Structure 1
Amino acid sequence: MVSEQPSAVEADPRFTRSRRAIADTLADLMERTQSCPSVSALAEAAGIHRATFYNHFDSVEEAAVYVIADDFRALHDLNIRDRRMGADPTAVAVATLNAMLDSLRQRKSLFLLASTWRSSSGLMGIGDLLLEQLHALRRDLGVDEQESGANNSVEDVYTASGVHGVFSAAVGGNTDCDPGEIAVRLYELLPQWIRQPPESSTH
C-alpha cells in the first residue's frame, strides 16, 4: 500500500473520491463509536453503494489497514525528505518510529481492527503494511540486494513481524513504557541498511 504505484483505475478521480470517502468515514466512525461498523453501515455513512465498497476492499478490516497506510505514507515521505537533506539516519529513524507509534495510539480502535486482517503474504494486520514500507525504503534509498544482503526478503519479514509485535504490545497492551524508549527499542530491530544506509543512497 505504501510502495505500490496507482493503476489506471485507481488514478480515476471517481475511484479516488469513493476510496477517500470510505477511509475518512471509517476513521470517523471508529473514533466516535469504538466499534467496527458493518459494510452496509459504512457504505451508507460514506454515501456510496455497498457494491462500491467491494470495488475497493474485501472487508472493513482491510479498509482499516488502508487508513493506517495513508498515515504511514506521509511519514515515509518525511523520512526520505529528511534523509536526503542530510539529517542523521538514526535520529530520522527513531523520530519516524515514534511518530508511527503516536499515530497508532491515536487510532487505537482502528489499529486493533486492522490487526485482525490477514494479507496475501500471510502476515497479520499491519505486518504486511510494514513489509511494504521496508520495500519502499529500500527503493527510495537506492539500496539494492547486494548492499542490503542476499536474504533481504527473509530479513524484511522478520523485521516487519518484530516491529508489528512491539506496536501491538505498546498500543493494544497495558504497557506504560515511555514512547521515546519504545522507539529506541524498535530502532534496534531495524536492519543495518536502514540505520546506516550507503552514503550514495541519501542523495
Structure 2
Amino acid sequence: MSPSRPTASEPSTDRRAERTRAALRDALLARLGSQDLDGLTVAGLCRAAGVHRTTFYGHYDTTESFAVGVLADLVDEAASVTGLDDGSVGEIAESYYATLGGMLDLLDRRRGVYRALFRSSMGSAFREALRTVLRRHLALALAVLGGHGLGPPGQRDLVAAFLSGALASALEAFVEGPPKEIDGEVRAMFDLFPPWWPRLSTRDSPPER
C-alpha cells in the first residue's frame, strides 16, 4: 500500500484558492469600473469570474466584505517598502515619499470606488481594515528608523497606532475631496508627518514616483 502524501495536495489546493481569488478580484475591479458597489451581486461577480457561487460563499460572506478585503489589499501592496535596512536616511525619506505618492495614485485612479466604499454600509469595516494595513507598515517603518537612531524614543506600537489613524483619515479626506494635482498633495501630506520623520534632502526636487 502506497504511503499517503498529504503535502502534495495542499499546495495544489492553495494554488486553486489563489487562482479563484485572483479571478474574483479581477472580476470585482472590472465591474466596479462600470457599476456601483451596491449593484454588485454574488451571482454577477461569480459569473464574470467563472466561479461557482458555492465556492464564493465558502470563502466570503458578501460582495461588500470581499470588496473591503480586495481594496484594502491594493493599499497594502502600494504601501509596501522593502530593502531599506541598508539605506541612508535620505534614501529612506525618498522611498517613503514615493510610497505615499503610490498610495495617492492608487486612490486617485479608483477614487469613485473608494469613495463609494467609504460611504457604504461597509465604510466602518473598510476604515478598520485600512488602519490595520497602515499600522503594520508604519510599525515596520518605525523599526527601520530606529535602526538609524531616528523616531520616537519608545512605545512604537502606540505611535504606529496613532499615525495609522491619522493617515487613514487623511487618505479618506483625499478621496472625498475634488481631484487635485497629485504631487502637491503628496508633498502636503508628507509634511504632516512628525518632525522626527526623515525629510527629503532637496525640498524643491522631490523624487520621481
In the alignment, the residues of structure 2 paired with residue 183 and residue 68 of structure 1 have an alpha-carbon distance, to the nearest angstrom, of 20
Gaps of 5+ in 1: 1-7, 197-203
Identify the residue that residue 175 of structure 2 maps to in structure 1.
171
Judged with a 3 Å threshold, the aligned counterparts in structure 2 of structure 1 residues 71 and 157 are, in CA distance, closer, same or farther, namely: same
In the alignment, the residues of structure 2 paired with residue 11 and residue 59 of structure 1 have an alpha-carbon distance, to the nearest angstrom, of 22
Identify the residue that residue 180 of structure 1 maps to in structure 2.
183
Identify the residue that residue 27 of structure 1 maps to in structure 2.
29
Judged with a 3 Å threshold, the aligned counterparts in structure 2 of structure 1 residues 83 and 61 are, in CA distance, closer, same or farther, namely: farther
Gaps of 5+ in 2: 1-9, 200-209
Deviation at 1:20, TM superposition (A): 0.7
Deviation at 1:65, TM superposition (A): 3.4
Greater shift in the superposed pair: 21-30 or 179-188: 179-188
Identify the residue that residue 153 of structure 1 maps to in structure 2.
157
Instruction: Provide TM-score, normalisation by structure 1.
Output: 0.70
* Equivalent residues in 2 for 1:1-203, closer than 5 Å: 12-36=14-38, 37-77=40-80, 79-81=81-83, 84=86, 86=88, 88-115=91-118, 116-119=122-125, 123-124=127-128, 126-137=130-141, 141=144, 149-174=153-178, 176=180, 178-190=181-193, 195=198
In the alignment, the residues of structure 1 paired with residue 173 and residue 114 of structure 2 have an alpha-carbon distance, to the nearest angstrom, of 12
RMSD between aligned alpha carbons? Answer: 3.4
Conserved 8 A contact 1:75-1:96: yes
Deviation at 1:83, TM superposition (A): 6.9
Conserved 8 A contact 1:93-1:195: no
Greater shift in the superposed pair: 92-101 or 60-69: 60-69
Percent identity for Structure 1 against Structure 2: 23
Conserved 8 A contact 1:148-1:193: yes
Greater shift in the superposed pair: 81-90 or 157-166: 81-90
The structure number with the bigger radius of gyration is: 2
Deviation at 1:44, TM superposition (A): 2.3
AA in 1 matched with 2:98: A
Q: How many residues of Structure 1 are paired with residues of Structure 2 in the alignment?
A: 182
